[in-house]
Chains A and B, each alone.
Chain A
Amino acid sequence: MEQNSAIISLSHVKKIFDGTTVVEDFNLDVKPGEFITILGPSGCGKTTTLRMIAGFELPSEGKILLNGEDISYLPPYKRPVNTVFQHYALFAHLDVYDNVAFGLKMKKVPVEVTDRKGNKKIKMKHLSIKEIDAKVSRALSIVDLDEMEDRDVSTLSGGQQQRVAIARAIVNEPKVLLLDEPLSALDHKMRKDMQIELKQMHKKLGITFFYVTHDQEEALTMSDRIVVMKDGVIQQVGTPEEIYNEPINAFVADFIGESNIYNGTMIGKKKVRFIGANWDCVDDFPLNEKVDIVVRPEDVLMVEPEKGTTVGVISSKIFKGVHYEFIVNVGKNEVLCRDTHDHEVGAKVGIVVEKENIQIMHKELSVNQYTDAYINSNGQVVIGEDPFDADLTKLLPGSHLEDEGSTILIGPNGKHYDLNDAEVVAEIDLDKIELSDDLSKGQAQGTIIQSVWIGDHYQYIVRTDDEEDYVVNSPFTWNENDIVSVAVEKEDIKLRLKTPIEELARE
């Protein structure tokens, strides 16, 4: 039954482009009349998902249902959905009227006609010019563009072109309106106004809006429900309140609004350790479990030093109108907090967080993952600011380097790829990192900010000066605040390019 009440239903939808999975096992039921938003960073597969619903891309696997009917492989012109394109895609050779009327002119509706013998028949007919006129004027008045019918679209401002694009889509009374970052090309002020207008339009029209954006604020203000996506995978689906107040993992928390995110470890029943202190919490996780901790800045209370759960020093202060925003250094960690009272920079303050406001999330910690790594000109991978030797030939099976220490990779087909400055995701296994007191022994060095005994070994978190964390399993004993070096063997660094390798090909 649940299936039938959804207007759009994506089940196990997957999209692979040239061997790269861009959308992975996408499951979503959209209720009729809902304003649903896909939110995620650029390149996470939002547009691809939308294009599969519109029919411009076909899913590699899975099904897309519209009112229970499989439309996965239907061509776009047969689908009762319309799209507002990111860059409008208005017809440059037509004026405003003809742009908006385009869909209506293509449309054929069943009309009952009586033939000469008096038999009634259903015939498919184009709409009459009068009907088209009426619908176009109505659509243009909905988007506030009355009297603009004869204007050439190239003479319109960005905001007006945007409105034409919306009118051109809604005039067809689609079951679902797909919007791909429709406001991204507008300036800040206009974007705010359009957000409100779009929301009102949604109420007035009563059709389902399927919205795509990378702007979390936009998603929070406009949507009934938000789908947060990362690397083609849905992270969380929920109302804006749910997403904001109960983010399911550190990524969602970080992406939605500002937050403090820390690595933590469960040290007892409803007790967790992070930023060098032990805290009470409300979530129960197994002992020694590695967790992500999220604390919203407005939930951090600043008290006198002796009353705090932990103590820090204020390192910066910004006045934000209603409140101040402070950064408090607690050991090597920074805590972002807000307070309506003024404190001096350099002052010592105590920090308290109510246990309900400590969000604890399960952490899939099997490897250290560095998503902002890149290849430098010596063919090394740079994590934070520290270069590590790595085996670049693993990026392309059957390839070899032009010569040792070069960034030129030669593929099996003889093609050259220049990896200099290429952005990569680097992964290092927890067991593959060697710590040492001899600081010259490793490629990076840092401070142990946390140490936990896990049954038969210690687990340490080493933080470098440039704020990268290395989680390390080790049988040896160090203390918190010890300074150690971090060494990783060349073959233990796994690399993945962020862009398709073909983009790096040299002519």
Chain B
Amino acid sequence: MARAYSKTKRFFSFKRKYLCIPYSVFLILFVIIPIFIILVYAFTGSTEDGALYFSFDAFTSFFTSPTKINILVVSLFVGMLNTIICLLIGYPVAYLLANSKVNKNKILVLLFIMPMWINFVLRTGATRDVLSWMGINGGNHPYLATMIGMVYNYLPFTILPLYTTMIKLDKSQLEAASDLGANSFNVFLHNTLPQSLPGIVSASEMVFMPTLSSYVISDTLSEGKITLFGNIIYLNFSQSQWNEGSFMAFVMLILVGISMLVSRHFDRGEQSERRGTLW
């Protein structure tokens, strides 16, 4: 047996590092190359016959267009508002769900996560119908309708990372705080909250940037009255304005980068281990 084994080994010796080949290929094909293409398009223009040349046209056109800047500001605002509302609703829900007395067999968690399993476009269409049945539609309340749709859509993404953090809260720290004279409110403020910060950061990451770039929700629910950053990128591409579209996608990338840096700041040392993520 042993000899047979060593023979096969000579033909092909499998090393652990080969396992990362598929991932590297994936990374290059679907991440690195697209980013490179975006960058190229963002800073070039093309002549009539299709030749590319270096240009800041997309750059100037973006920063001199009040409409586009305005859309960026509105998008950031909607993103922040959505993040805050999702956290305000999701935090107490996750807190309760993590309490084994309330949530004995974890079925409640499923109830809150279930909407994630329904097709996103279908779900948004249904939300529109329910809302308009209640008298809220894109015509009369575009912002309200959009926010309701956004919160409904992103709430599960907030609850899940918060929940994973909360079930891992160090109970003995909570006891220590109360032993040292903190009443329930102070225990929450000075211990539960800081302990769950990594979950809050994760949840925000899951909500903030995707809100900016999602255009289906605002399109459907505001009946086209609210344009978010994602909408206008989509619009640009669909109208073959490759350079402007790419430049805005590039702006998006920078925003993602900034938000990663900000969250990294909250995410140091031991605490990162306790950080709950969706994946």
Contacts and interface: CB of A to CB of B under 8 A. Distances in A.
A172 B180 contact: yes
Nearest to B182: A106
Contacts of A172: 180-181
A107 interface: yes
A83 interface: yes
Given A91-B191, A93-B197, A76 B269 contact: no
Nearest to B180: A103
A102 B173 contact: no
B269 A82 contact: no
A75 B178 contact: yes
B176 interface: yes
A56 B180 contact: no
Contact of A83 (B179, B182, B195): B179
Contact of A89 (B176, B182, B183, B271): B176
Given A106-B186, A152-B269, A154-B269, A92 B173 contact: yes
Contacts of A89: 170, 172-173, 175-176
B173 A91 contact: yes
Interface band, chain A: 20 to 34
Contacts of B197: 93
Contact of A85 (B172, B186, B194): B172
A168 interface: yes
Q: Is the interface of B mostly helix, strand, loop or mixed?
A: helix
Contacts of B182: 77, 102, 106
B270 interface: yes
A82 B180 contact: yes
Contacts of A82: 179-180
Interface residues of B, number: 21
B190 interface: yes
Contacts of B179: 54-56, 76-77, 82-83
A363 interface: no
Contacts, number: 67
B177 interface: yes
B173 A103 contact: no
Interface string A77-101: 1000011010101111110000000
A77 B191 contact: no
Given A93-B195, A152-B269, A77 B172 contact: no
Contacts of A103: 180-181
Given A92-B271, A172-B181, A56 B191 contact: no
Given A85-B172, A154-B269, A102 B178 contact: no
B178 A76 contact: yes
A79 to B, nearest CB: 8
Contacts of A83: 175-176, 179
Contact of A77 (B170, B183, B270): B183
Nearest to A171: B180
A507 to B, nearest CB: 12
Nearest to B183: A77
B180 A168 contact: yes
Contacts of A92: 170, 173, 195, 269-271
Contacts of A75: 178, 183
Closest 5 A-B residue pairs measured CB to CB?
A: A103-B180, A89-B172, A106-B181, A89-B176, A93-B194
26 contacts: A56-B175, A75-B183, A76-B179, A77-B181, A77-B182, A77-B183, A82-B179, A83-B176, A85-B175, A87-B172, A89-B170, A89-B176, A91-B173, A91-B177, A92-B170, A92-B173, A92-B195, A92-B269, A92-B271, A93-B194, A93-B271, A94-B194, A102-B182, A103-B180, A106-B182, A106-B186
